Structure 1
Amino acid sequence: MMDTIGLQKIKPGALGGRGCIFCRFVFRNPALAVSLAFLAIVTGLAVLAPLLPYDAYRLDVLHRNELPSAHHWFGTDELGRDVLARIAVGARVSLFVAVASTIVAIAIGVMIGTISGYLGGVADSIMMRLVDAMYSFPDMLFAILMAAFVKGYLSGDVHGFWGPLAELYRLSGGILGVLLTLGLSSWPTTSRLVRSQVLSLKHAEYVLAARLSGASGWRIIRSHLLPNTVPVILVSITFVVPNAILLEAGLSFIGIGVDPPTPSWGTMIGDGIKSVQSYPHLLIFPALAIGLTLLCLNVIGDALRDILDPTLAGSRNA
């Protein structure tokens, strides 16, 4: 049986075959290979940040605003902190927030999209109107409003049920607030994609056969619908992850994201703008880090969509 994007019902070994296709894509596409290598370097830098010669939080007022040199490859900032070390810690923050918020957004989007598509009728209309309402707000504006609310509430004197969450917010340096903001604002795209896939799959012959055999709705969703929405979910991840990194940088840039002194690419760009004429390296390096990371994620996302959607790949090659 064929689903809407031209993929057969998932069978054992299918993912392995697609892995081989991805390997061939890497060898045939230099841009994809470079993108994967760059992301590997960024990830390695984030993981190995504590092993760097300089501490991202150590102040050295005798070496403030130094230009890139053999001792400080990316120079130092206005407080004498090593820029490379801060970019490494900022990469850890951005990648962690992107991955964790994507998991939250995908979980919410898949749940709402699956239930909406399978039930249909009034439930589908209500859920889709909620999605339309969220789409009426620009992503950044909605994220700013939610981040301001979460940050203002959890950073105050909170007791009772929300007390542990507020304490976790303070211990994380504001990262928890950004994670919740992005996770709760990035799910509509996933829900739409999953819903459209479920709407077509629920009328497939194998789903009708399962329903006639007495399978419950939950069993049909778990055994037949969700496995066949995996390609769509993977495609939606390629939209959510870059958007999460960009939104996190934007929130930190305007001061409602990660709390100082925790480094973030957004806060580093904001600090670099203040002294861009005298010390441009404070702006150039974090801007390059986020720009190249987003570019590489988009290249990888395009390759993944070509693999999971052969019709799209054919139209591009035509």
Structure 2
Amino acid sequence: MSEALVTVETAGTEAPVPAASGTRQFWRRLRAQRAALVAAAVVALLVLVALAAPLLTALEGQDPTTYHPSLVDSARGGVPIGSFGGISADHWLGVEPQTGRDMFARLVYGAQVSLGVALAATVLQVVLGVAMGVASGLGNRWVDQVLSRITDIFVSMPLMIMALALLAVVPSGFPRPVLVALIIALVAGWSTTAKMVRAQTLTLKNLDYVAASRLSGWSTWRTAVRELLPGLAAPVITYSALLIPSNISAEAALSFLGVGVKPPTPSWGQMLTSADVWYQAAPQYLLLPAAALFVTVFALTVLGDGVRVALDPRAASRLRIGTGRRLEARADKGVPATDKADAVAMQNDAVAGKKEDRA
């Protein structure tokens, strides 16, 4: 297949320039968004902290489960001794009220649980949602109706009530983080993913290349894998990036209500459960996990929005046209382009304008 070319008019001449691949365009559009880059750096740091939790706590010399009763004032109800919640060289963020457990160790190990549960739930949601959506979109009328009704049932299920019901029947020895991830994945999220994928599948299967593959005798499975999944990649990745912060909030809410991760396993939501009575005597016990949750969810939301813009050609075109107009206005005022990228953007917008005039 011949390589696609993009024509750029410069100084009255036309020079063929190879078009950037989809991956290169995605990274270029993502790098153009400074907020998304900062959010990506924050998310990468949080993931690194979660993975390195054993090493970080070993450097501090603490662990998340050991009690230190000598570091709390029993006469005052268990308030940490010392300023700022008992911060010291041995306890970098102080200690937990009543128990004296190290706050830094519980925070970094809580990042493991919160991020791990959210990522596991997201993977399950995407796999199940894509499978149900593609099967519904490619199936006959009866298959579509049955799968759509099943999806509607799960859309209407309340997460908290279903979580309470499932936790009542699941044996207590079952790993609680795994159970929370399964509940979030099976009750919330996958049904919305399935409806989105079904709508995209119904649109894509009417395109010529998909219809040709089906008329040529390809099986439904081969058509889905070879023709549909590449077209579904962009919306699925975009939606997955936005699912992760929602799942983190869901895990925190379940743990806060007492139906999520149980002590002594640390979790940010579970830490907030017992912090509401200490916000005056030991405010750091409430502020630290709340700040960690806020930063994580906010960074993932900004990153997800940046991925959406980078994967959406229409949004990227609007950004490029707007940038070109600003640069053109700067040029009219005698302000030169700041760098080569600005000059290229102006040239591309000029070419697009000339083509529109010819049309």
Taking structure 1 as the reference length, the TM-score comes to 0.84
CA RMSD of aligned residues (A): 1.9
Superposed displacement of residue 150, structure 1 = 2.7
Could you say which residue in structure 1 is the equivalent of 2:92? 73
Could you say which residue in structure 2 is the equivalent of 1:296? 299
Superposed displacement of residue 98, structure 1 = 0.9
Q: Distance in 1 between matches of 2:308 and 2:282?
A: 41
- Match for 1:20: what amino acid? W
Count of equivalent residues: 285
Could you say which residue in structure 2 is the equivalent of 1:273? 276
- Aligned residue for 2:95, secondary structure, equals coil
Superposed displacement of residue 261, structure 1 = 0.7
Cα distance change on mapping 1:125 and 1:153 into 2, 3 Å:
same
Whether the aligned pair in 1 keeps the contact of 2:107 and 2:267 (CA below 8 Å) is: yes
Cα distance change on mapping 1:34 and 1:70 into 2, 3 Å:
farther
Q: Distance in 1 between matches of 2:35 and 2:26?
A: 18
Whether the aligned pair in 2 keeps the contact of 1:269 and 1:287 (CA below 8 Å) is: yes
Q: Distance in 2 between matches of 1:15 and 1:149?
A: 45
Could you say which residue in structure 2 is the equivalent of 1:29? 33
Q: Which of 102, 122, 129 in structure 2 is aligned with 1:102?
A: 122
Taking structure 2 as the reference length, the TM-score comes to 0.75
- Aligned residue for 2:150, secondary structure, equals helix
- Match for 2:252: what amino acid? A
Q: Are positions 1:16 and 2:35 aligned together?
A: no
What are the within-5 Å matches in structure 2 for residues 129-208 of structure 1?
129-137=149-157, 142-156=158-172, 167=173, 169=174, 172=175, 174-185=176-187, 186-208=189-211
Q: Distance in 2 between matches of 1:307 and 1:288?
A: 28
Q: Distance in 2 between matches of 1:246 and 1:222?
A: 33
After TM superposition, the structure 1 stretch with the greater mean CA deviation from structure 2, 113-122 or 62-71, is: 62-71
Q: Distance in 1 between matches of 2:311 and 2:305?
A: 10
Q: Distance in 2 between matches of 1:88 and 1:305?
A: 29
Rg larger for:
2
Q: Distance in 1 between matches of 2:293 and 2:317?
A: 31
Percentage of pairs with the same residue: 34
- Match for 1:32: what amino acid? A
Could you say which residue in structure 1 is the equivalent of 2:219? 216
Cα distance change on mapping 1:280 and 1:252 into 2, 3 Å:
same
Q: Distance in 2 between matches of 1:32 and 1:287?
A: 22
Whether the aligned pair in 2 keeps the contact of 1:114 and 1:195 (CA below 8 Å) is: yes
Q: Are positions 1:226 and 2:242 aligned together?
A: no
